[in-house]
Protein backbone atom coordinates (compact mmCIF):
# COMPACT_ATOMS: atom_id res chain seq x y z
CA UNK A 1 0.00 0.00 0.00
CA UNK A 2 1.19 3.57 -0.59
CA UNK A 3 0.20 7.08 0.53
CA UNK A 4 -0.58 8.35 -2.96
CA UNK A 5 -3.29 5.74 -3.56
CA UNK A 6 -4.88 6.55 -0.19
CA UNK A 7 -4.83 10.28 -0.95
CA UNK A 8 -6.33 9.71 -4.40
CA UNK A 9 -9.15 7.59 -2.98
CA UNK A 10 -10.31 10.37 -0.69
CA UNK A 11 -9.51 13.11 -3.22
CA UNK A 12 -11.87 11.38 -5.65
CA UNK A 13 -14.58 11.11 -2.95
CA UNK A 14 -14.13 7.40 -2.41
CA UNK A 15 -14.52 5.51 0.86
CA UNK A 16 -11.28 4.50 2.53
CA UNK A 17 -11.11 0.80 3.32
CA UNK A 18 -10.30 -0.41 6.84
CA UNK A 19 -6.96 -1.65 5.50
CA UNK A 20 -6.12 1.74 3.99
CA UNK A 21 -6.97 3.53 7.23
CA UNK A 22 -5.00 1.13 9.43
CA UNK A 23 -2.01 1.35 7.10
CA UNK A 24 -1.88 5.13 6.68
CA UNK A 25 -2.22 5.84 10.43
CA UNK A 26 0.45 3.28 11.30
CA UNK A 27 2.78 4.41 8.50
CA UNK A 28 2.39 8.09 9.43
CA UNK A 29 3.14 7.33 13.08
CA UNK A 30 6.33 5.50 12.03
CA UNK A 31 7.39 8.29 9.67
CA UNK A 32 6.89 6.33 6.47
CA UNK A 33 4.16 8.75 5.36
CA UNK A 34 5.54 12.31 5.19
CA UNK A 35 3.88 15.39 6.70
CA UNK A 36 3.11 16.81 3.26
CA UNK A 37 1.34 13.58 2.28
CA UNK A 38 -0.74 13.50 5.46
CA UNK A 39 -1.50 17.20 4.90
CA UNK A 40 -2.91 16.35 1.48
CA UNK A 41 -5.01 13.55 2.93
CA UNK A 42 -6.29 15.78 5.75
CA UNK A 43 -7.33 18.40 3.20
CA UNK A 44 -9.12 15.75 1.12
CA UNK A 45 -10.98 14.62 4.26
CA UNK A 46 -11.91 18.23 5.07
CA UNK A 47 -13.30 18.74 1.57
CA UNK A 48 -14.95 15.35 1.00
CA UNK A 49 -15.74 14.07 4.48
CA UNK A 50 -15.89 10.55 5.93
CA UNK A 51 -18.82 8.32 6.73
CA UNK A 52 -19.44 6.87 10.20
CA UNK A 53 -17.69 3.59 9.36
CA UNK A 54 -14.55 5.42 8.24
CA UNK A 55 -14.56 7.71 11.31
CA UNK A 56 -14.94 4.76 13.69
CA UNK A 57 -12.08 2.88 12.01
CA UNK A 58 -9.87 6.01 11.90
CA UNK A 59 -10.47 6.53 15.65
CA UNK A 60 -9.70 2.87 16.42
CA UNK A 61 -6.48 3.11 14.40
CA UNK A 62 -5.44 6.22 16.34
CA UNK A 63 -6.06 4.41 19.64
CA UNK A 64 -4.16 1.34 18.40
CA UNK A 65 -1.12 3.50 17.60
CA UNK A 66 -0.32 3.66 21.32
CA UNK A 67 -1.17 2.52 24.82
CA UNK A 68 -4.35 2.63 26.91
CA UNK A 69 -4.48 3.90 30.48
CA UNK A 70 -6.28 2.31 33.42
CA UNK A 71 -7.60 4.13 36.49
CA UNK A 72 -9.11 1.08 38.16
CA UNK A 73 -6.83 1.56 41.18
CA UNK A 74 -8.48 4.87 42.11
CA UNK A 75 -11.08 4.98 44.85
CA UNK A 76 -13.06 7.70 43.04
CA UNK A 77 -15.10 7.45 39.83
CA UNK A 78 -13.40 9.13 36.86
CA UNK A 79 -15.04 11.78 34.72
CA UNK A 80 -13.54 14.09 32.13
CA UNK A 81 -14.50 17.02 29.92
CA UNK A 82 -13.33 18.17 26.52
CA UNK A 83 -14.00 21.43 24.72
CA UNK A 84 -13.76 21.71 20.94
CA UNK A 85 -12.07 25.09 21.39
CA UNK A 86 -13.13 28.66 21.66
CA UNK A 87 -12.00 32.19 22.45
CA UNK A 88 -11.59 32.96 26.14
CA UNK A 89 -12.47 29.35 26.92
CA UNK A 90 -10.67 28.91 30.23
CA UNK A 91 -13.37 26.64 31.65
CA UNK A 92 -11.10 23.63 32.26
CA UNK A 93 -9.04 25.60 34.77
CA UNK A 94 -11.77 26.14 37.38
CA UNK A 95 -13.82 23.08 36.32
CA UNK A 96 -11.32 20.29 37.03
CA UNK A 97 -10.63 21.27 40.66
CA UNK A 98 -14.31 22.02 41.22
CA UNK A 99 -15.44 18.54 40.13
CA UNK A 100 -12.61 16.97 42.16
CA UNK A 101 -13.76 18.90 45.23
CA UNK A 102 -17.14 17.20 44.79
CA UNK A 103 -15.70 13.68 44.97
CA UNK A 104 -14.77 12.66 41.42
CA UNK A 105 -11.35 12.06 39.89
CA UNK A 106 -10.68 14.25 36.84
CA UNK A 107 -7.91 13.02 34.49
CA UNK A 108 -7.89 16.03 32.18
CA UNK A 109 -5.67 15.53 29.16
CA UNK A 110 -5.50 18.88 27.39
CA UNK A 111 -3.94 20.38 24.29
CA UNK A 112 -2.37 23.53 22.94
CA UNK A 113 -3.90 26.31 20.91
CA UNK A 114 -5.30 25.59 17.46
CA UNK A 115 -5.47 28.56 15.15
CA UNK A 116 -7.43 31.40 16.74
CA UNK A 117 -8.52 29.27 19.72
CA UNK A 118 -6.55 29.09 22.95
CA UNK A 119 -4.95 26.01 24.46
CA UNK A 120 -5.28 24.94 28.10
CA UNK A 121 -1.64 23.87 28.34
CA UNK A 122 -0.42 27.19 26.92
CA UNK A 123 -2.47 28.99 29.56
CA UNK A 124 -1.25 26.94 32.50
CA UNK A 125 2.37 27.20 31.39
CA UNK A 126 2.17 30.90 32.18
CA UNK A 127 2.24 29.85 35.87
CA UNK A 128 5.92 29.83 36.93
CA UNK A 129 7.25 26.29 37.27
CA UNK A 130 4.11 24.46 36.12
CA UNK A 131 4.78 21.31 34.08
CA UNK A 132 2.46 20.04 31.36
CA UNK A 133 4.36 16.82 30.68
CA UNK A 134 4.00 14.07 33.28
CA UNK A 135 4.81 10.39 33.13
CA UNK A 136 1.88 8.01 33.53
CA UNK A 137 3.05 7.31 37.09
CA UNK A 138 3.23 11.04 37.91
CA UNK A 139 -0.19 11.64 36.40
CA UNK A 140 -1.74 8.85 38.44
CA UNK A 141 -0.05 10.09 41.61
CA UNK A 142 -1.30 13.68 41.15
CA UNK A 143 -4.78 12.35 40.39
CA UNK A 144 -4.76 10.11 43.44
CA UNK A 145 -3.50 12.77 45.86
CA UNK A 146 -5.37 15.86 44.64
CA UNK A 147 -8.38 14.47 42.73
CA UNK A 148 -7.55 16.30 39.50
CA UNK A 149 -4.73 16.57 37.00
CA UNK A 150 -4.43 18.70 33.86
CA UNK A 151 -1.58 17.62 31.62
CA UNK A 152 -0.46 16.79 28.10
CA UNK A 153 -1.18 13.37 26.69
CA UNK A 154 1.90 11.20 27.09
CA UNK A 155 3.93 10.17 24.08
CA UNK A 156 2.51 6.67 24.34
CA UNK A 157 -1.13 7.76 24.22
CA UNK A 158 -2.48 7.97 20.65
CA UNK A 159 0.86 9.12 19.20
CA UNK A 160 -0.68 9.28 15.74
CA UNK A 161 -3.03 11.99 17.00
CA UNK A 162 -0.19 13.99 18.54
CA UNK A 163 1.49 14.26 15.14
CA UNK A 164 -1.71 14.93 13.23
CA UNK A 165 -3.02 17.46 15.78
CA UNK A 166 -0.01 19.74 15.27
CA UNK A 167 -0.18 19.30 11.50
CA UNK A 168 -3.84 20.28 11.30
CA UNK A 169 -3.11 23.54 13.13
CA UNK A 170 -0.81 24.80 10.38
CA UNK A 171 -2.46 23.37 7.25
CA UNK A 172 -5.97 24.82 7.42
CA UNK A 173 -7.62 21.49 8.24
CA UNK A 174 -8.61 22.07 11.87
CA UNK A 175 -12.33 22.29 11.01
CA UNK A 176 -12.69 18.81 9.48
CA UNK A 177 -15.41 17.11 11.55
CA UNK A 178 -14.05 13.55 11.11
CA UNK A 179 -10.58 14.68 12.22
CA UNK A 180 -11.92 16.66 15.19
CA UNK A 181 -14.08 13.75 16.36
CA UNK A 182 -11.37 11.12 15.98
CA UNK A 183 -8.71 13.32 17.56
CA UNK A 184 -10.76 14.03 20.65
CA UNK A 185 -12.25 10.60 21.11
CA UNK A 186 -9.09 8.59 20.43
CA UNK A 187 -7.35 10.34 23.32
CA UNK A 188 -10.33 10.22 25.64
CA UNK A 189 -11.06 6.53 25.02
CA UNK A 190 -7.39 5.60 25.33
CA UNK A 191 -7.17 7.72 28.47
CA UNK A 192 -9.54 5.33 30.21
CA UNK A 193 -12.01 7.74 31.80
CA UNK A 194 -15.34 6.24 32.87
CA UNK A 195 -17.46 9.20 31.78
CA UNK A 196 -16.99 12.11 29.38
CA UNK A 197 -18.76 15.43 28.90
CA UNK A 198 -18.15 17.21 25.60
CA UNK A 199 -18.38 21.00 25.32
CA UNK A 200 -19.06 21.51 21.61
CA UNK A 201 -18.76 25.19 20.76
CA UNK A 202 -20.91 26.80 18.08
CA UNK A 203 -20.64 30.28 16.62
CA UNK A 204 -18.16 32.57 14.90
CA UNK A 205 -15.33 31.82 17.34
CA UNK A 206 -15.81 28.05 17.16
CA UNK A 207 -14.70 25.62 14.48
CA UNK A 208 -18.38 24.70 14.12
CA UNK A 209 -20.04 27.88 12.87
CA UNK A 210 -23.59 26.50 12.62
CA UNK A 211 -25.79 24.62 15.05
CA UNK A 212 -26.22 21.88 12.43
CA UNK A 213 -22.46 21.25 12.18
CA UNK A 214 -22.15 21.33 15.97
CA UNK A 215 -24.92 18.73 16.30
CA UNK A 216 -23.22 16.51 13.71
CA UNK A 217 -19.88 16.67 15.53
CA UNK A 218 -21.47 16.14 18.95
CA UNK A 219 -23.55 13.21 17.76
CA UNK A 220 -20.52 11.61 16.10
CA UNK A 221 -18.44 11.87 19.27
CA UNK A 222 -21.23 10.73 21.59
CA UNK A 223 -21.68 7.64 19.41
CA UNK A 224 -17.94 6.91 19.37
CA UNK A 225 -17.74 7.20 23.15
CA UNK A 226 -20.88 5.21 23.87
CA UNK A 227 -19.83 2.39 21.55
CA UNK A 228 -16.52 2.20 23.40
CA UNK A 229 -18.18 1.89 26.82
CA UNK A 230 -17.61 5.47 27.95
CA UNK A 231 -20.73 7.24 29.21
CA UNK A 232 -20.72 10.30 26.95
CA UNK A 233 -22.90 13.41 26.78
CA UNK A 234 -22.44 16.68 24.87
CA UNK A 235 -23.50 20.26 25.48
CA UNK A 236 -23.67 22.67 22.55
CA UNK A 237 -22.49 26.01 23.94
CA UNK A 238 -22.39 29.49 22.49
CA UNK A 239 -19.16 30.85 21.02
CA UNK A 240 -20.42 33.86 19.09
CA UNK A 241 -18.98 36.05 21.86
CA UNK A 242 -15.75 35.36 23.79
CA UNK A 243 -16.18 33.67 27.15
CA UNK A 244 -15.45 35.96 30.05
CA UNK A 245 -13.48 39.16 29.76
CA UNK A 246 -10.09 37.86 28.60
CA UNK A 247 -8.56 35.99 25.67
CA UNK A 248 -4.92 35.09 26.23
CA UNK A 249 -2.81 32.83 28.41
CA UNK A 250 -1.90 34.51 31.71
CA UNK A 251 -4.94 36.79 31.34
CA UNK A 252 -7.24 33.75 31.39
CA UNK A 253 -5.44 32.09 34.31
CA UNK A 254 -5.98 35.25 36.34
CA UNK A 255 -9.69 35.24 35.49
CA UNK A 256 -10.00 31.54 36.33
CA UNK A 257 -8.55 32.14 39.79
CA UNK A 258 -11.17 34.88 40.26
CA UNK A 259 -13.89 32.29 39.51
CA UNK A 260 -12.40 29.86 42.03
CA UNK A 261 -12.34 32.69 44.57
CA UNK A 262 -16.10 33.12 44.20
CA UNK A 263 -16.12 35.91 41.61
CA UNK A 264 -15.48 36.08 37.90
CA UNK A 265 -17.71 36.79 34.89
CA UNK A 266 -21.21 35.34 34.99
CA UNK A 267 -20.94 33.42 31.70
CA UNK A 268 -17.77 31.65 32.85
CA UNK A 269 -19.32 30.75 36.21
CA UNK A 270 -22.58 29.56 34.62
CA UNK A 271 -20.85 27.30 32.09
CA UNK A 272 -18.43 25.94 34.69
CA UNK A 273 -21.35 24.93 36.93
CA UNK A 274 -23.38 23.47 34.04
CA UNK A 275 -20.48 21.26 32.94
CA UNK A 276 -19.66 20.31 36.54
CA UNK A 277 -23.22 19.06 37.09
CA UNK A 278 -23.07 16.98 33.90
CA UNK A 279 -19.70 15.48 34.87
CA UNK A 280 -20.82 14.62 38.38
CA UNK A 281 -24.08 13.11 37.15
CA UNK A 282 -22.22 10.99 34.58
CA UNK A 283 -19.89 9.80 37.36
CA UNK A 284 -22.82 8.76 39.57
CA UNK A 285 -22.41 11.73 41.96
CA UNK A 286 -25.62 13.53 41.15
CA UNK A 287 -26.17 14.61 44.78
CA UNK A 288 -22.93 16.63 44.88
CA UNK A 289 -23.31 20.43 44.95
CA UNK A 290 -20.67 22.18 42.80
CA UNK A 291 -22.07 25.63 43.58
CA UNK A 292 -21.35 25.03 47.28
CA UNK A 293 -17.84 23.76 46.53
CA UNK A 294 -17.17 26.94 44.56
CA UNK A 295 -18.50 29.17 47.32
CA UNK A 296 -16.85 27.52 50.33
CA UNK A 297 -13.30 27.54 48.94
CA UNK A 298 -12.88 23.78 48.59
CA UNK A 299 -12.45 24.06 44.80
CA UNK A 300 -9.73 26.68 45.32
CA UNK A 301 -7.98 24.33 47.76
CA UNK A 302 -7.88 21.60 45.10
CA UNK A 303 -6.60 24.10 42.51
CA UNK A 304 -3.69 25.09 44.74
CA UNK A 305 -2.76 21.48 45.47
CA UNK A 306 -3.11 20.47 41.82
CA UNK A 307 -0.93 23.31 40.50
CA UNK A 308 1.68 22.76 43.22
CA UNK A 309 1.80 19.02 42.52
CA UNK A 310 2.87 19.83 38.95
CA UNK A 311 5.62 22.21 40.03
CA UNK A 312 3.66 25.43 39.75
CA UNK A 313 4.10 28.33 42.17
CA UNK A 314 0.51 29.30 42.94
CA UNK A 315 1.60 32.45 44.77
CA UNK A 316 3.98 33.77 42.12
CA UNK A 317 2.80 36.77 40.05
CA UNK A 318 1.61 35.89 36.58
CA UNK A 319 3.43 37.35 33.56
CA UNK A 320 2.23 40.73 32.31
CA UNK A 321 2.80 41.93 28.75
CA UNK A 322 5.23 44.82 28.42
CA UNK A 323 3.00 46.84 26.07
CA UNK A 324 -0.72 47.70 25.95
CA UNK A 325 -2.91 49.44 23.41
CA UNK A 326 -6.46 50.60 24.22
CA UNK A 327 -9.29 50.46 21.67
CA UNK A 328 -12.06 52.91 22.58
CA UNK A 329 -15.75 52.86 21.78
CA UNK A 330 -16.42 55.01 18.68
CA UNK A 331 -19.94 55.98 19.80
CA UNK A 332 -22.37 55.90 22.71
CA UNK A 333 -25.01 53.17 22.85
CA UNK A 334 -25.59 49.48 23.49
CA UNK A 335 -22.90 46.99 22.55
CA UNK A 336 -24.92 44.41 20.62
CA UNK A 337 -22.15 42.22 19.16
CA UNK A 338 -18.56 41.35 20.05
CA UNK A 339 -17.29 38.81 17.56
CA UNK A 340 -15.40 35.90 19.10
CA UNK A 341 -13.51 35.02 15.93
CA UNK A 342 -12.16 38.53 15.41
CA UNK A 343 -11.10 38.79 19.05
CA UNK A 344 -9.43 35.37 18.81
CA UNK A 345 -7.52 36.38 15.67
CA UNK A 346 -6.36 39.60 17.34
CA UNK A 347 -5.14 37.67 20.40
CA UNK A 348 -3.37 35.17 18.15
CA UNK A 349 -1.66 37.95 16.19
CA UNK A 350 -0.53 39.60 19.43
CA UNK A 351 1.38 36.44 20.32
CA UNK A 352 -1.13 34.40 22.35
CA UNK A 353 -1.25 31.75 19.60
CA UNK A 354 1.09 30.24 17.04
CA UNK A 355 1.33 30.32 13.24
CA UNK A 356 3.60 27.24 13.06
CA UNK A 357 3.65 24.20 15.33
CA UNK A 358 7.22 25.08 16.40
CA UNK A 359 6.30 28.63 17.50
CA UNK A 360 6.39 29.74 21.13
CA UNK A 361 3.53 31.77 22.61
CA UNK A 362 3.71 34.88 24.75
CA UNK A 363 2.35 34.27 28.24
CA UNK A 364 1.10 37.83 28.71
CA UNK A 365 -0.29 38.47 25.22
CA UNK A 366 -4.00 38.69 24.49
CA UNK A 367 -7.11 40.84 24.54
CA UNK A 368 -8.93 42.18 27.59
CA UNK A 369 -12.61 43.07 27.19
CA UNK A 370 -14.13 46.01 29.05
CA UNK A 371 -17.72 45.42 27.93
CA UNK A 372 -19.89 42.53 26.75
CA UNK A 373 -22.97 42.51 24.50
CA UNK A 374 -25.90 44.12 26.30
CA UNK A 375 -23.71 46.66 28.12
CA UNK A 376 -24.10 50.41 27.66
CA UNK A 377 -20.92 52.06 26.41
CA UNK A 378 -19.91 55.70 26.07
CA UNK A 379 -17.93 57.18 23.19
CA UNK A 380 -14.25 57.26 24.12
CA UNK A 381 -14.41 54.70 26.91
CA UNK A 382 -12.06 51.70 26.77
CA UNK A 383 -13.66 48.84 24.87
CA UNK A 384 -10.66 46.51 24.46
CA UNK A 385 -7.07 46.48 25.71
CA UNK A 386 -4.50 44.68 23.58
CA UNK A 387 -1.52 43.13 25.38
CA UNK A 388 1.80 42.05 23.84
CA UNK A 389 5.55 42.06 24.43
CA UNK A 390 6.13 43.08 20.82
CA UNK A 391 4.42 46.40 20.01
CA UNK A 392 5.05 45.99 16.29
CA UNK A 393 2.25 43.40 16.42
CA UNK A 394 -0.41 45.99 17.31
CA UNK A 395 -1.07 47.14 13.74
CA UNK A 396 -1.57 43.57 12.50
CA UNK A 397 -3.88 42.74 15.43
CA UNK A 398 -5.90 45.93 14.93
CA UNK A 399 -6.66 44.91 11.34
CA UNK A 400 -8.77 42.05 12.75
CA UNK A 401 -10.98 44.39 14.77
CA UNK A 402 -12.77 47.00 12.56
CA UNK A 403 -15.83 44.72 12.19
CA UNK A 404 -15.50 42.97 15.54
CA UNK A 405 -18.31 44.85 17.31
CA UNK A 406 -21.60 46.67 16.79
CA UNK A 407 -22.96 49.53 18.88
CA UNK A 408 -26.67 50.35 18.58
CA UNK A 409 -28.42 53.52 19.82
CA UNK A 410 -29.02 53.77 23.56
CA UNK A 411 -32.19 52.02 24.65
CA UNK A 412 -31.97 49.34 21.94
CA UNK A 413 -33.40 46.07 23.24
CA UNK A 414 -30.89 43.24 23.53
CA UNK A 415 -31.51 39.55 24.20
CA UNK A 416 -28.48 37.45 25.11
CA UNK A 417 -28.00 33.96 23.65
CA UNK A 418 -27.98 31.29 26.41
CA UNK A 419 -24.50 29.95 27.09
CA UNK A 420 -25.83 26.36 26.85
CA UNK A 421 -27.87 25.92 23.69
CA UNK A 422 -28.57 22.16 23.50
CA UNK A 423 -27.78 18.84 25.16
CA UNK A 424 -27.06 15.66 23.20
CA UNK A 425 -26.85 12.26 24.88
Q: What is the pTM of this model?
A: 0.90
Residue 64 lies in a domain: no
Q: Is the pLDDT of residue 233 over 90?
A: yes
Is residue 168 domain-shared with residue 228, that is, in the same domain?
yes
Residue 315 lies in a domain: no
Q: Are residues 299 and 327 in the same domain?
A: no
Same domain for 327 and 206? no
* pLDDT tens-digit readout, 85-143: 899 999 999 999 999 999 999 999 898 887 788 899 999 999 999 999 999 899 999 99
- Give yes or no: 82 in active site: yes
Q: Does any domain span residue 140?
A: yes
pLDDT score of 115: 75
Q: Are residues 214 and 363 in the same domain?
A: no
Q: Given this model, what pLDDT does residue 148 score?
A: 98
Residue 396 counted as domain residue: yes
Instruction: Assign residue 272 the CATH number of its domain.
Output: 3.40.1030.10
Catalytic-residue membership of 187: yes
pLDDT tens column, 35-68 = 999 999 999 999 999 998 999 999 999 999 999 9
The domain boundary, picked from 309, 336, 354, lies at 309
- The one catalytic residue in 65, 110, 183, 256 is 183
What pLDDT, in 10s, does the model give residues 207-226? 899 999 999 999 999 999 99
Q: Among 252, 278, 309, give the residue marking a domain's end.
A: 309
pLDDT tens, position by position, 265-313? 999 999 999 999 999 999 999 999 999 999 999 999 999 999 999 999 9
Confidence (pLDDT) at 116? 86
- Specify the pLDDT at position 169: 74
Q: Which of 89, 122, 161, 267 is catalytic?
A: 161
Whether residue 333 lies inside any domain: the answer is yes
Residue range 320-341: average pLDDT?
98
Band (pLDDT 50/70/90 cuts) for residue 155 is confident
Measured distance CA(350)–CA(391) in Å, rounded: 8
Exposure string for 98-135, b = 16+ CB within 10 A, e = fewer? bbbbbbbbbbbbbbbbbbbbbbbbbbbbbbeebebebe
* Domain membership flag for residue 419: no
- What is the number of domains present in the chain? 3
pLDDT tens-digit map of 244-266? 999 999 999 999 999 999 999 99
> Which residue out of 82, 123, 162, 354 is catalytically annotated?
82
Residue 351: which CATH number? 3.90.1170.30
Q: Please indicate, yes or no, whether residues 283 and 398 belong to a single structural domain of this protein.
A: no
Residue 331's domain comprises 323-408
Known catalytic membership, residue 161: yes
Q: Residues 230, 120: one domain? A: yes
Kindly give, in sequence order, each residue whose CB lies less than 8 Å from that of residue 105, ignoring residues fewer than 6 positions away: 71, 74, 76, 77, 78, 79, 143, 144, 147, 148
Q: Which of 112, 162, 187, 215 is catalytic?
A: 187
Helix (H, G, I), strand (E, B) or coil at 302: helix
- Chain-wide mean pLDDT for the chain? 95
Catalytic residue among 90, 168, 215, 387: 168
Amino acid sequence: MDAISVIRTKRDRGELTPEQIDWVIDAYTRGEVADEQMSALAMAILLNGMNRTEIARWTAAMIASGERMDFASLSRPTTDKHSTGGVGDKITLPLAPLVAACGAAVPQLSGRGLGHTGGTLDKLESIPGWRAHLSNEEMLNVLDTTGAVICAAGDGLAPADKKLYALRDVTGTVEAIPLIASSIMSKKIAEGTGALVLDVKVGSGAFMKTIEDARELASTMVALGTDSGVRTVALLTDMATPLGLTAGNALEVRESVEVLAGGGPKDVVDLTLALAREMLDAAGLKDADPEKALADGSAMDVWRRMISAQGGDVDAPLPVAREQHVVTAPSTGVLTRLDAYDIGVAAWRLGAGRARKEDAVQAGAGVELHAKPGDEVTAGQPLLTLHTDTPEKFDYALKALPDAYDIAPSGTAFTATPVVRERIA
